[in-house]
Structure 1
Amino acid sequence: MRAGETTAPLVKFGIFAVVTALATTVLAATIVNFRLTPTDTYSAVFSDVTSLETGDDIRVAGVRVGEVEDIRIKDRTLAEVRFTVSRDRPLLSGTRAVIRYRTLVGQRYIALTEGPGRGTRLRPGSRIPLSRTEPALDLNALLNGFKPLFAALSPKDVNQLAFEIIKTLQGEGGTVNSLLAHTASLTSSLADRDKLIGSVVDNLNEVLGTVDRRSAKFSSLLRQLRRVVSGLSSDRRAIGDSLTGISDLSAATSGLLEQGRPALKTDIAGLSKLSGTLDDNGRTVEGVLKRLPRKLNKLTGTASYGSWFNFYLCDFDGRIVLPKTAEAITPDFHVGRARCGR
């Protein structure tokens, strides 16, 4: 291979490598916010620097001109923030430092604004006093006021509206008129549901009217419920002890039933057989029960002569079935004496 044929690919590769290295360097510098321009260091005192972190932006008119270098406590109740600013963006004596929201997830940055008048240039290392600083908005107090509106909007609309509210109140573009116009467009869905809301209100009025008409009974119910709850509260120890006793009783009963289960099973089977026999001989049982009062009267008279009974066999009949021949024998015996007269 000749020298000319190898030189051209090497030149192309060298150009590609240089361009790739430059692009990577620019990308890395952009990601880490690396700046080559000289900077000056200043500080500012804030009453609250919640969520402000080292490395956050310092901006002038929305343009990044520096970053936060250090945050420390000052006089136990204040915070001192040390930051750098490009030397070609000098600060003036009337400069104000305001902490603003960068995103709704909590990212912050410090915005530097000029006060009235021209002012003089601040020397590097100077401090912006508390009187010319302002902490970030209190989102909890701000968004709680819009809670009824947010409850009727989708999460996407809530995020968009909340971010526009913050931008408007921070003075970052947009006007109150545009904010109100966007709010009106979002709340149009509430107007579309006017019939449904009216129905809910009517139903609620009816329920409250019913409760109001029965206010005396409702008050009595609440008093009785309070009395019951108070009684249960005062007897809670006795109730707890009784529950323990019930638990012990259930355990003992379970053991007793477990021991008596075979006998109970046999008794229940015998009762089932007895009930079947009584059902099959229902007429005989019924006849015995009908004759029993008269027989008992006669037995009572017989037993009144002493502690004995005199019985006489007057009639005997029966039916005997032989096992092998299945022949039935029906013996019948009757005594014809006067005492056996009917």
Structure 2
Amino acid sequence: MKPLRKIQAALVAIAVAVAVAGAAVINTESGGQPEKLTIAAEFTDASPLVVGNDVKIKGVTVGEVADMGVRDAKAIVTLKIDGMALPLHKDARATVRPVSLLGERYVDLERGTASAPLLNDGDVLPVAQTGQATDLDQVLNTIDEPTGQSLAALVTMLGQGMQGNGANARASIKALASSMRDTDGLIKILGQQNQLLTDLVDNVQPVASALAADNGKTLDGLVDSSRQVLDVTANNQQGLDASLAELPSTLAAARDTLAELTGTAKATTPVLAGMRPTTENLSAISDELRKFSESADPALTSAKPVLERAEQLMDAARPVVEELRKAGPGLRGTVAGAKPLTVQLTDNIENVLNFFRFWAMSTNGWDGLSHYFRGQAIIHPEEITGLLPSLTGTPPPPTTPGADKPPASSPLPELPDSVGSSGLLDPKSLVAPDGGVTGLNERQESGVLDFLLGGS
């Protein structure tokens, strides 16, 4: 029982020290909250808390438990807080702790972080922000009789070992002071990284659960695979050593290659700069191609029936082509024989076409009876006048071919008197002053013939 009394005395001393330290650092600023604040806290288990128990911040009493109730299987504890405890923030925490080993309890309240919003009158702290400290009797209840006896023996041996060694223990504690400060800094760092550690545990938990889901068979398989990889690596140790030995030369060759690539890249830079104007137009070209493809889609869609019809025509033309192929040798000889005629017609095509054109113009007229033939003859006036018989019955002298003008007229013989008045006209009246028998001069006769014959 003596060790237990020592533990109780130590706990009481620690509680007093914490109360004194907390009283020195209480923040009395309200932060814009009312002078007094009433909030509620949800607990999964609030026993043995009772109405009237104190509410403390860092060991200093700042309020009391005003009411207790149950709602939705949760203990609802109403806390009345004095203004000296303010400000309180939304992430404040409330923990039920023992005042002493006698069993009395109080609510230990933490203000929360300064960056969080302030608590308002009537707000509720959820279960995630409340808790209950573990009592010493709960710890002692977990220790069975053999463990208690072993613990008592350990405390006895420690007491015997410390007997007469107080100075040495004090020197050891003094020497460990710096280590304890470092440990305190480590604990503070771990406290700051508590969320990171929590996230790490949360991320590791699914992996651990997956490995433990089939009683470790997956982990066993992973270990076996790792062992096989290590065995293969050990068996190929010489090959790995050789590869590592060749690695420096490989790296040197790679360095040279990279140097050459650097020169190539520098030479490529002007080429790429020259290609830039072309590449800038690629966007516009792609847009034009897209528009063209969109326009071509209906045409390609409608081309299918045309292609099917063309295929049918090709199938129908296949027999004709086969017949033409059979007649090919004969046609080749015929074409060879017709080639000279074709060449002559091609060289004289204008005259050939004129022949057909003039023949069509000669036969395309018609009158009341039928078509008539239209011809053109070029005749000189002297040819007509030379063919006319003279009044005396003597044919006119022949004209000289190629002469432009008729020969000079000779004096006409005198007509007999018997002819004078027997005709319709007096023959003498038919003789023109220049000797023409038509009574017209040469120019007048030429104009009459041109009018009748259509000459020029």
> Which has more radius of gyration?
2
Per the normalisation by structure 1, the TM-score is 0.34
Q: Which has the higher helix share?
A: 2
Per the normalisation by structure 2, the TM-score is 0.27
Q: Which has the higher contact order (CA 8 A, sep 6+)?
A: 1
Q: Which has the higher strand share?
A: 1
